[in-house]
Amino acid sequence: MNIVGIAACTAGIAHTYVAKEKLMKAAQKAGHNIHIETQGTIGTKDKIPDEKIINADVVIIAADVKVAGKERFLGKKVIEVPTETVIRAPNKLIKRVEELLAQQD
């Protein structure tokens, strides 16, 4: 599965990067390709390339605040969760995403 997404917390610092790291590890452990962009007080980092969005099977937005650029994901399955969900149970979230996508096939 190809996953892209955004991580963003209220401060745009700690939880943003912890959520990104946990999502990346959980997805890679499950054998998926993943690219997570971060948004916060220091701006946007690791912007998702257009090609990865085009090839994405799902978009995960782990955010506690409004994120910029959601229009890029028009026509894609978008799952939005708080950063806390990703931080506490990243493997469970990836499993849930797999199940949701399997139901759509």
The amino acid that residue 68 corresponds to is A
Would you list the domain boundaries of the chain? Answer: 2-104
The span from the CA of 44 to the CA of 42, in Å, is: 7
Cβ atoms of residues 94 and 30 within 8 Å: yes
Give me the catalytic one of 6, 7, 8, 9: 9
State the residue for tokens 């978008």: 78
Q: Which of 102, 70, 65 is nearest to 83 (CA)?
A: 65
pTM for this entry = 0.95
Tell me the CA distances in angstroms from 55 to 63, 69, 77, 89, one per residue in order: 22, 17, 12, 26
Query: Could you confirm whether 9 is annotated as catalytic?
Result: yes
Architecture of domain 2-104: 3-Layer(aba) Sandwich (3.40)
When pLDDT is averaged across residues 53-68 and rounded to a whole number, the result is 97
When pLDDT is averaged across residues 63-81 and rounded to a whole number, the result is 96
pLDDT at 10 over 80: yes
